[in-house]
Amino acid sequence: MFENLSQKLDSAVRTLKGKGRITEINVAQTVKEVRRALLDADVNFEVAKQITDEIREEALGRKILISVEPGQLFIKIVSEKLTALMGGAVAEFKPQGSPAVVLIAGLQGSGKTTFTSKLGFMLKKKGQQVLMAACDIYRPAAIDQLHTLGEQIGVDVYAERENKDAVQIAKNAIEYAKKNGKSIVVVDTAGRLAVDEEMMREIAEIKASVQPSETLFVVDSMTGQDAVNTAKTFNERLDFDGVVLTKLDGDTRGGAALSIRSVVEKPIKFISTGEKPETLDIFYPDRMANRILGMGDVLSLVEKAQQVFDEKEAERLNKKLIKNQFDLNDLLSQVQQIKKMGNFKDLIAMVPGMGKMLKDQEIDDDAFKPLEDMIFSMTPKEREEPSILNASRKQRIAAGSGTSVQQINGLLKQFEEMRKMMKQMNKMQGKGGRFEGKSKRKKKR
């Protein structure tokens, strides 16, 4: 996501790098390139013009501190303007009611049903008793899809297969939720076209009947400016509370994310990537601006890590590290924790500078698969004591994992280097502790 835009913005700002000062001439040249980059990313023309005019005025109006280079200052200004363009602050999502009702609307194929399950999973993790209501009576597989997703995440689904009245199904789902102690109902509706008057009237009736505290409009970000125009039309009829951008891991230029807040005047509340339940994130305008400018997103990376963080597992691992007993089972466990965090390429892009370094490299989500296959092909004893792996054992493991003896030797070499580093860290921590004790005693004297 935003890969081309990031590269073009970096290229535009490069014209200011190394300059001694900001002038009207070099700012005009840079702003022209920024505007071109935004338009190429399918940002609305009026929005692109407005933001670049503001960037130019801000750049020429600011005094440059001695310690700040013109290029750095310009990046800061662009970051501030992109953040403001996408809404400034994070938009709150606080469904209220007993039960609280969240209505999901959007075009056909925008990813509403998948988003419904992701939102249900997110709310469940926060302690909510969630019910998902299947109110798409037109797509034959919609009810089955929601049931399958509900089973995967452990969330109940309310459906009436014979009933062809979506409004009544939604109302019945609310009543079911009240009787069964559900705290929140997420209503999945049928995809519709903005020009389909009958379908638009139906979604408006559903909203009127269930009185949702949050109405979310799901947008396929791969449709670019068309998504923005459709959202505007839907908002005129539904007056929704926020936007959800889906398929941000696809071949998208990012224009919808940058334009939609300004054109529709409704905040982006969630962004969705991939198919896994965990791949739903709250939208932070400042973090997204930093990612677009190649500055990383460490906060989101930390939050993703915390979501899959297992406190007991971490405590167990810490004890093994202290005793220098880290083995291949532990390495496998850590790899599997990392995989739960989401798309590997997106994770790397959150590390400042890594996105630019790896922009031309293909990063496969199955990068860890050979490593996992090799470890799975070992006996429990071999995982605990890799030193016993002789030539015949390695050949057996290579045959079982579909890898080569060279790959196994590479794994073992990297693993030994990891163990050495961990051992050194333990020694340094030990010395630090003793040093601190001595310094305290000196102070007492």
pLDDT digits (tens, 9 = 90+) for 284-336: 888 877 777 765 545 555 555 555 566 666 677 777 777 777 888 888 877 77
Mean of the pLDDT values across residues 219-226?
A: 75
Give Cα separations from 341 to 19, 139, 309, 344, 389 (angstroms).
Answer: 41, 32, 10, 8, 32
Mean of the pLDDT values across residues 95-113?
A: 88
Nearest-angstrom CA–CA distance, 144 and 129: 21
Mean of the pLDDT values across residues 237-246?
A: 88
Q: How far is Cα of residue 369 from the mean position of the Cα atoms in its chain?
A: 22
3-85 maps to CATH 1.20.120.140: yes
Per the listing, tokens 């009026």 go with 46
- For the segment(s) 100-294, the CATH number from 3.40.50.150, 3.40.50.10880, 3.40.50.300, 3.30.420.40 is 3.40.50.300
> Does residue 95 have a cis peptide bond before it, meaning omega lies within 30 degrees of 0?
no
Q: Helix 405-444 crosses helix 328-339 at what angle (to 10 degrees)?
A: 90
Domain with CATH 3.40.50.300 in the chain: 100-294
Predicted confidence (pLDDT) per residue in 10-22, tens digit: 666 666 655 555 6
Which of 116-125, 139-148, 220-229 is most confident?
116-125
Nearest-angstrom CA–CA distance, 427 and 424: 5
Percent of the chain with pLDDT over 90: 25
Pairing of strands 184-189, 214-220: unpaired
Q: Which strands form 156-158's sheet, in the order they lie side by side?
A: 156-158, 130-135, 184-189, 100-106, 214-220, 242-246, 268-272, 280-282
Nearest-angstrom CA–CA distance, 38 and 54: 14
DSSP labels, 201-245: HHHHHHHHHH--SEEEEEEEGGGTHHHHHHHHHHHHHH--SEEEE
Domain with CATH 1.20.120.140 in the chain: 3-85
Mean of the pLDDT values across residues 22-38?
A: 76
Does residue 41 register a pLDDT over 80?
A: no
Class of domain 311-432: mainly alpha
**Per the confidence metrics, is the pTM higher than 0.75?**
no
Which of 235-244, 294-303, 399-408 is most confident?
399-408
Does residue 134 register a pLDDT over 70?
A: yes
